[in-house]
Amino acid sequence: MPDDYDIGYGKPPITTRFKKGRSGNPKGRSKGTKNLKTDLAEELRQTVAVREGETTRSVTKQRAMVKALMAKAIKGDTRAAGKIIDLINALLGLDQKQGRARPLTAEEEALIEVLKAKESSEVEASQYQEPTPAGSSGSDE
């Protein structure tokens, strides 16, 4: 090793550097450790007893949560209703950004123009009807 080698910020001693071909974390994560996503999925799959009227059923915790949220939304809880709508949009892919309509075809645009022309001619016809005299009611006396 050269004597003029500087040790400092960004230049650790050569002996303490990571060795080539060797992991910086040799023990690593133990195989039994689970991440949050796995723990949550397992917890939601567990069953609980839910009472519906006179009967008691065994349902998953996930299903019980959805039922409780839906019940609150039906009773008028606006927050719960908003959460249900958000879930529907997220799960069914009805995101507002994706909800935009596709561009119209030439045939559809032509149909719209025909309908607009028809509507404008009906509006013009209704504007220029002959006024009825104020004194006559249209019935014979």
Q: Could you report the per-residue pLDDT of 123-134, keeping only the tens digit for each?
A: 676 666 666 666
How far apart (Å, rounded) are the C-alpha atoms in residues 137 and 125?
22
pLDDT at 79: 92
Domain boundaries, the chain: 35-99
Confidence of residue 14 (pLDDT cuts 50, 70, 90): confident
pTM for the structure as a whole: 0.45
Mean pLDDT of 63-76: 92
Q: Could you report the per-residue pLDDT of 40-59, keeping only the tens digit for each?
A: 999 999 999 999 889 999 99
Q: Which residues contact 84 (CB under 8 A, 6 or more apart)?
A: 69, 70, 73
Whether the per-residue pLDDT at 82 is higher than 60: the answer is: yes
